[in-house]
Amino acid sequence: MLATIRRALGQTPGIACRRLSTVVASAPEHARLASEALPGVYRTSAPLVGSDGSEAVPVAFAGARPVYLQLSSLIRPQENEDPSDELVELDPHVFAHPIRRDILHLCAVHHLDCQRQGSANTKTRGEVRGSGHKIRPQKGSGRARLGDGQSPMLRGGGVAFGPKPRDFATKLNRKVIQMGMRVALSARLKEHSLGVVRSLEWPGHRTSELQRRIEELGWKRTLFVTGQEEIPDGLRRAGSNLHGVDIVTAEELNVYNTLKWPRLVLDLQAVEWFERALGRPSSVAPREYRL
């Protein structure tokens, strides 16, 4: 499993993943790095060493194997910084869910149905303005019988069986929508179109600088998702009028937009938000690791 992850990330087989937020070894260096790092982030520059001197890999306490993804950076890293040697751990219940095309179809149709205005309105023969006088006698003319001038058969008359204002929204269970979000995130990860950054804070407000950085990363047509309550001010100002880029909060993200945008970029707070909202109840608490 880990060898496959290393090959997918272009790493050498001799490198292991180590969690920086949890002290998993008794070495002082490991303890120092654990106290300085963000939760859920792994560094691959130094292998994890067990008590017997052999290389060890963190294993989730719940028994499920976590998913590792290479951490990216929206801001250009400094000369002494290299974000490519860091991995972020993703909850397999949220980001490695079995792909269900039927669930995705249900969620997409449900979202599109709820977006319909349903404001189309036509007038029936009882609502069209005009007299109720009978146009010609019932018999004797040899022509078709007609009533008043509001008949649907006449020009300017009412509309038969025309649309009226209605609500097109359909019902879908909350658990099905939650499963659809898990499937959509897992599909993005499986297609290698999901990225994770430490933060979406952008220094400055110039659109040209952000556009150059996005072109360097190859993130054209990207949806940025933040776990904060509001979009970071710098990124909102710089990317609000940028073509092919949109920014939403994790609470606003839905299955349809997850499937519509070719690439998704989450910050660590968004990852924690999805794991807290979509994960198992046992995964809400801090996960334990052993050597």
Looking at the structure, tell me whether residues 49 and 97 fall in a common domain: yes
Looking at the structure, tell me whether residues 182 and 134 fall in a common domain: no
- Structural domain contains residue 26: yes
Kindly report, residue by residue over 153-212, the tens digit of the pLDDT: 999 999 999 999 999 999 999 999 999 999 999 999 999 999 999 999 998 888 899 999
Identify the helix (H) or strand (E) that includes residue 94.
helix 92-95
C-alpha distance from residue 101 to each of 4, 20, 198 (Å): 25, 36, 31
- Structural domain contains residue 128: yes
Q: Which residues contact 255 (CB under 8 A, 6 or more apart)?
A: 104, 107, 108, 111, 177, 180, 181, 183, 184
Q: Which residues contact 213 (CB under 8 A, 6 or more apart)?
A: 74, 75, 76
- Structural domain contains residue 257: yes
Identify the helix (H) or strand (E) that includes residue 225.
strand 222-226
Where a domain ends, among 129, 152, 167?
167
Q: Give pTM, 2 decimals.
A: 0.71
Ramachandran bin of 285, using left for φ above 0, alpha for ψ from -120 to 50, beta for the remaining angles: beta
Looking at the structure, tell me whether residues 53 and 149 fall in a common domain: no
The one-letter amino acid at 156: G
Q: Which domain holds residue 156?
A: 120-167
Task: Write down the pLDDT at residue 102.
Answer: 95
Looking at the structure, tell me whether residues 161 and 179 fall in a common domain: no
Task: Write down the pLDDT at residue 271.
Answer: 94
Looking at the structure, tell me whether residues 133 and 29 fall in a common domain: no
Task: Estimate to the nearest angstrom the gap between the alpha carbon of 212 and the chain centroid.
Answer: 24
For residue 30 the two structure tokens come to 């490991």
- Whether the predicted pLDDT of 2 surpasses 70: no
Helix, coil or strand: residue 38: coil
- Structural domain contains residue 63: yes
Looking at the structure, tell me whether residues 50 and 176 fall in a common domain: yes
Mean pLDDT value across residues 221-226: 94
Kindly report, residue by residue over 27-81, the tens digit of the pLDDT: 344 334 333 444 444 444 433 333 344 333 333 333 467 889 988 888 887 766 6
**How many folded domains does the chain comprise?**
2
- Structural domain contains residue 114: no
Looking at the structure, tell me whether residues 27 and 92 fall in a common domain: yes
Question: CB–CB of 26/51 below 8 Å?
Answer: yes
Q: What is the rounded CA–CA span in Å between residue 184 and residue 188?
A: 6
